[in-house]
Homo-oligomer: A and B are copies of this chain.
Amino acid sequence: MTNTGGRKPDEGERYRAILETAARLICDRGYEGTSMQEIAAACRMTKAGLYHHIQNKEQLLFAIMNYGMDLFEEQVLSRVQDIANPVERLRACMRHNILLVTRGWSKEVIIILHEHATLTGETRAFIDARKKKYVDFLEEAFSQASQQGLIRPVDPTVGAFSFLGMVLWIYKWFKPDGRLTDEQIADGMVGMLFPPFAAVGDTAGQAGPSPLRMVPSVSATGTDSEDA
């Protein structure tokens, strides 16, 4: 939909409130399991009143997902993409992403994760393209880290999707009142996938054929103590 800009001060505000309310319900009950009637009621409106603001149900989901992608890029990607050291970049990214999932601020992000096959056609392609930018970002980081000998060599795609699986699967099992805090989970997973990798000198050329050791590549470690 074409955005008319700031006609009224709270025009966008109202729309965003609808997205957030709808997201809360859809996150709980699923897209197909949530009726427009319920969404309208949660917005303290009738269904016809809701339809004054949105085009149809599918466009509503599309808007929620785009909003979720905006939030993700703001709270994760933008905060880590300038870190020079690829492993530190991945560590910080993993930490931010885990906390984005565990802290329930953005139901929109959870909807993106769960309803991965609900949209079809152009809207599906658009969201998939935004997701792919994140995968590309991770693959690039894994590729750099591998080449610089900062991690054990791994196919960048396998690395990226292993990263994503560990991090994003959390929405299916994490309970805020469980034994483990989200910080502990973040520490554990970062330590597991990106352990301190003290490279040592090796005989063979770079990207050593040995599955066990790799080239030092020296002097790459500059950034320190990236905080979450």
Contacts and interface: CB of A to CB of B under 8 A. Distances in A.
A200 to B, nearest CB: 5
Interface string A162-188: 101111111011000001100011001
A171 to B, nearest CB: 9
A200 B165 CA distance: 31
B191 A152 contact: yes
Contacts of A33: 32, 118
A8 B97 CA distance: 55
Contact of A161 (B158, B161, B170, B213): B170
B169 A164 contact: yes
Contact of A158 (B152, B159, B185): B185
Contacts of A167: 165
A189 B193 CA distance: 11
Interface stretch (A12-20, A41-49, A202-210, A219-227): A202-210
A169 B179 contact: no
A104 interface: no
B200 A206 contact: no
Contact of A211 (B166, B168, B193, B195): B195
Contact of A169 (B32, B118, B165, B196): B165
A157 interface: yes
A73 to B, nearest CB: 19
Given A162-B166, A168-B165, A211-B199, A154 B206 contact: no
A184 B158 CA distance: 9
A129 interface: no
A189 B157 CA distance: 11
Nearest to A197: B211
A198 B170 contact: no
26 contacts: A31-B32, A33-B118, A114-B114, A154-B188, A154-B191, A158-B180, A158-B184, A158-B185, A159-B188, A159-B192, A161-B166, A161-B169, A161-B173, A161-B185, A162-B188, A162-B193, A165-B168, A165-B169, A166-B166, A169-B169, A192-B193, A195-B212, A200-B209, A206-B213, A207-B212, A211-B213
